[in-house]
Amino acid sequence: MSLIFDHIAGLNSARPWGRVLDAGTGINSLRWLRGLPADELTAVTGADLMVRRIRDALGPSPANEKIVTGNWADPDFLSGKRFDTVVADYLIGAIDGFAPYFQDEMIGRLRQLTAGRLYLVGLEPYVVEKPGTPAGEIVFRIGRLRDTFLLLSGQKPYREFPLVWVEKQLAAAGFSIVATKRFPIRYRARFVNAQLDMCVNRLHLVPDDLRSALAAHVETLRAQALALETRLDGLRCGFDYVITAEPC
């Protein structure tokens, strides 16, 4: 993640940060943004639980920072506000849990909010089509299993969007693309365990007649993935991306 933040900082090195909006905040993005010379910092989250997690991890907000909770599907939320710098850190995928099918309208909201520059970070979907490499295939299987558990337990999986789609939506909303950069991903054991532990933690929520079979499948997949990660020195699959855009 530091590579992505360093990339954004480099792109913005000749510009004042001014009034900054963290449009989908989290611990990582807010920790980074607190270290920048912003005049004002507004951090948005859709859940009060995230506010508590941020404060537990990072401590109280500095004087120039405000953390607000709201739903971007609410047209009155931050209506009329404009920011010199907007950071949308994996927002387009994550928003499906709060406002399903709102992604194209969200990009329109970002256009209304952006007075200067937008930095949009995303993840190229990796659970849509089965990749042609052993590493890609096992990451695909982990992602599909994770999403299965989320759906069986009554929750919504993230709905990531491809780079090409996001660029088209930005242009349609009135943005001009300044730069695009891809960051190839090498998944490590931490990713494997985190995703599969998420499944284990939801076993009690799935139907009783599926529970034992799914529990065994999780551990079989874990063993296969960890062995392959060790042999290949990481599971190379897909990429994150950063799109830099400005209002036309």
CATH number at residue 55: 3.40.50.150
The H or E element that residue 186 is part of is strand 175-187
Q: Is residue 79 part of a domain?
A: yes
CB environment 149-165: b (16+ within 10 A), e (fewer) = bbebeeeebbbbbebee
Q: Is residue 153 part of a domain?
A: no
User: Residue-wise pLDDT tens for the chain (248 aa)?
Assistant: 689 999 999 999 999 999 999 999 999 999 999 999 999 999 999 888 899 999 999 999 999 999 999 999 999 999 999 999 999 999 998 888 788 888 989 999 999 999 999 999 999 999 988 889 999 999 999 999 999 999 998 888 888 999 999 999 999 999 999 999 999 999 999 999 999 999 999 999 998 999 999 999 999 999 999 999 999 999 999 999 999 999 99
Q: Is residue 4 part of a domain?
A: yes
Q: Is residue 136 part of a domain?
A: no
- Report how many domains make up the chain: 1
| Domain range for 85 | 1-123
Q: Is residue 223 part of a domain?
A: no
Q: Is residue 145 part of a domain?
A: no
Q: Is residue 137 part of a domain?
A: no
Q: Is residue 194 part of a domain?
A: no
> By the 8 A CB rule, do 94 and 158 touch?
yes
Supply the pLDDT for residue 97. Answer: 79
